[in-house]
């Protein structure tokens, strides 16, 4: 009998993906979606070898799958995440009693490349955040105010894009110069913002948001897109594409926020708290970035370097 293709009707019921996703209630929504897609992709691949249920998966099959992903030129970070999803899934299966042995318990994956994040220079940030001539039409003016508020807030508070898009009006305290965001693992944190970000947010909320709002717009959302829906990560990327003279990912503003704080003498644990990192080790990458910047400045300016 030939194996059923998983993508014909979705993963076989034996994989219990819906129940697995429900078990990830403590994870961020983006993580839950990614893990479900990763396990479903493996189930589809495994079905081609006649493996239709998790209790038929052996460790060698998992290793072959990771090797297959590598030959397909998936990035190391992507392969590492897919391996993490499979480890989480099979651990859950073992706890549920769906299989006797966890084949992914010691599954290793390639470490992500140690690439340093891009950091914008102060001159690049000035150009990016510089207010532009005001459009004459209401829609254009509203979009200009929104875009400036988005960029100012990303850099002022070092927010993740998902945190900015999920920001609610109750989380913005302009008089106290504080924003309250929900980060990874549904953890809430408060981050201070500076006067320029406050002014940009005031301009957007008072004179721009109402132009984009529709009767069915989410009333709590701080940022809206052109059709009145909550602003999404792709919308933020388009804002950067329009305003930045060079290709710039929104996350570069978060990297720049952290690096510039450390360059200015901020304590590493304070930066960890502001970024919402669970581990100090995650924040330490920015110390390496700062050292790289110091070396580059030294080499470029010292007469004997």
DSSP β-bridge partners for residue 221: 168
Is CATH 1.10.150 what the domain over 6-96 is classified as, yes or no?
yes
Q: Which of 160, 243, 255, 260 is catalytic?
A: 160
Rounded to a whole number of angstroms, the CA Rg of the chain reads 23
Q: What is the spatial distance between Cα 184 and Cα 174, in angstroms, rounded to a whole number?
A: 24
Structural domain boundaries in the chain: 6-96, 122-301
Active-site residue, 118 included: no
Note the pLDDT of residue 102: 94
Active-site residue, 184 included: yes
Active-site residue, 249 included: no
Which residues in the chain belong to E strands, given as ranges? 172-173, 178-182, 188-192
pTM here?
Answer: 0.62
Active-site residue, 254 included: yes
Contact between 201 and 153 (Cβ < 8 Å): yes
Active-site residue, 298 included: no
Number of H helices, E strands in the chain: 15, 3
**Token pair of 21 as six digits:** 């996703």
Note the pLDDT of residue 32: 92
> Closest Cα to residue 283, out of 291, 292, 273?
273
Q: Select from 1.10.443.10, 3.30.160.100, 1.10.3720.10, 2.60.40.2130 the CATH code of 122-301.
A: 1.10.443.10
Active-site residue, 251 included: yes
Distances (CA, A) of 56 to 14, 60, 214, 292: 11, 11, 51, 49
pLDDT values of the chain reduced to their tens digit, one per residue, 305 residues: 333 433 444 556 789 999 999 999 888 888 999 999 999 999 999 999 899 999 999 999 999 999 899 888 888 888 989 999 999 999 999 999 999 999 998 887 665 555 556 788 888 899 899 888 888 899 999 999 999 999 999 999 999 999 999 999 999 999 999 999 998 888 899 999 999 999 999 999 999 999 999 999 999 999 999 999 999 999 999 999 888 877 888 989 999 999 899 888 888 889 899 999 888 888 887 777 777 666 776 677 767 66
Contact between 57 and 15 (Cβ < 8 Å): no
Q: Which of 82, 254, 255, 260 is catalytic?
A: 254
Q: How far apart are the first and last CA of the chain?
A: 71
């Amino acid at each position: 009998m030939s194996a059923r293709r998983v993508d014909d009707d979705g993963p076989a019921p034996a994989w219990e993906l819906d129940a697995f996703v429900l078990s990830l209630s403590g994870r961020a929504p983006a993580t839950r979606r990614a893990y479900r897609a990763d396990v479903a992709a493996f189930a589809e691949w495994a079905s081609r070898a006649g493996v239709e249920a998790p209790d038929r998966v052996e460790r060698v099959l998992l290793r072959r799958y990771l090797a297959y992903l590598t030959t397909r030129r998936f990035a190391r970070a992507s392969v590492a995440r897919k391996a993490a999803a499979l480890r989480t899934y099979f651990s859950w299966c073992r706890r549920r009693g769906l299989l006797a042995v966890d084949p992914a318990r010691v599954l290793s994956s390639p470490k992500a490349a140690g690439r340093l994040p891009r950091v914008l220079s102060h001159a690049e940030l000035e150009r990016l955040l510089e207010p532009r001539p005001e459009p004459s039409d209401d829609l254009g003016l509203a979009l200009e105010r929104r875009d400036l508020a988005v960029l100012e807030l990303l850099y002022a508070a070092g927010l993740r894009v998902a945190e900015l898009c999920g920001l609610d009006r109750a989380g913005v305290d302009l008089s106290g110069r504080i924003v309250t965001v929900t980060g990874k693992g549904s953890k809430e944190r408060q981050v201070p913002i500076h006067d320029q970000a406050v002014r940009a947010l005031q301009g957007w909320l008072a004179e721009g948001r109402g132009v984009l709002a529709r009767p069915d717009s989410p009333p709590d959302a701080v940022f809206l897109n052109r059709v009145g829906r909550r602003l999404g990560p792709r919308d933020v990327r388009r804002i950067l594409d329009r305003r930045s003279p060079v290709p710039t990912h929104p996350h570069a503003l978060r990297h720049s926020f952290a690096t510039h704080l450390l360059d200015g003498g901020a304590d590493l644990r304070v930066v960890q708290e502001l970024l919402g990192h669970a581990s100090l080790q995650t924040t330490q990458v920015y110390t390496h970035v700062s050292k790289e910047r110091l070396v580059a400045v030294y080499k470029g300016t010292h007469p004997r370097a």
